Structure 1
Amino acid sequence: MMRELTTRELYQALEYAKSIDETGGGKILARFQLDQPALAQTIFGVFPQVIAEQNQDMAHLFMDLCFDVICVFEKAFGPLPSQKTLGLDWLEQSASMLDAEVQALIAGKPQAQKIGEKQQDRFTERVFDSNLQTGLVNFMHTAIDEYASENPVRVKAARVTQTLIFTVIQLFGIMYDRAAAH
């Protein structure tokens, strides 16, 4: 099971992410797309479209934050595992495991409020029971809140952006755990 980053490790990894120039960033993203094509398509194709339905600025922020997540995990835990190493089905299995809970967290989904609250409570319990990168999640959520607060039209997309960045962090944790098990 993946260990949580210390505050120092987290900030060193975030500093590393911020220090990468455009050329280095392009190489990291190209390698990510080669090593994890399905995850890359989900993170940089599907998720931003969901956010862009509410606000394009927040979709751009989300993609920037996803780059930071990639860098943090690589800096702290080593090179990203490849899709070949993990098998083609790991992302689908992981996504389906998170799907019901994530749907309950995404604002605007037509559900009975009681069911949504129950799923959200169960999801929150699982999050705290898992060895999640809570420091990283909290940092990302704060960055999203701050960015959203700069322009009122962004606020409506803050929750979905936070939910999806949380999902990305969870998927990276699952990916590294699965790779360690292989």
Structure 2
Amino acid sequence: MGLKENIQVVKQEISTEEQFLEGMIKGERFFKKNKNYIFSALALIVLGAGGYSINSIMIDQKLKASNEAYAIFLKDANNLAALETLKDKNPKLYMMFLFEEALKKGDVEALKKVALSQEDAIVSDLATYQLSQMDGNTTAQGALLSGMVFLHEGYALLKENKVDEARLKFAQIDVNSPLKQIAKNLEHYQGLK
């Protein structure tokens, strides 16, 4: 019996080695057959990682330069070079700065420039709203703050006891707007305390 068991053990070892060699041969065949694809995939991964790194570095440098320009401009408002750098490196921050300055000075032309800007939709919408409030012309509405304009108009109508007209303004506020509940409350109480 010892001899049979030894033969079985040897057969199992040979079988295991055959399977290992067979797996190696299959792996080698697969690699030879697909080595161009494998190398291409590796090259794309390396190039993608390199491109991502370079892009991140460029964005960081741009951000750093715009922040430095903004800090310089805040210290010295007459530094036009810093303002140009800010305009080139970070147009959104530049528009925000123009908006802030236009509000401080009441500059309608600068507000119009910011309102027409495509750089930042929120700042543009805020500028449009501010223009409509300055002019008393509430027909100029931004996409984001239109509910606020309708709420403001409706409240002004409630103050004048024009309840039906105020309800029409409140009805124009989007159903999903957080201002809708305020409009419902004003409509219910008709602006009275």
Q: Is TM more than 0.5 here? A: no
Which structure has the bigger radius of gyration?
2
User: What's the TM-score, normalizing by structure 1?
Assistant: 0.21
User: What's the TM-score, normalizing by structure 2?
Assistant: 0.20
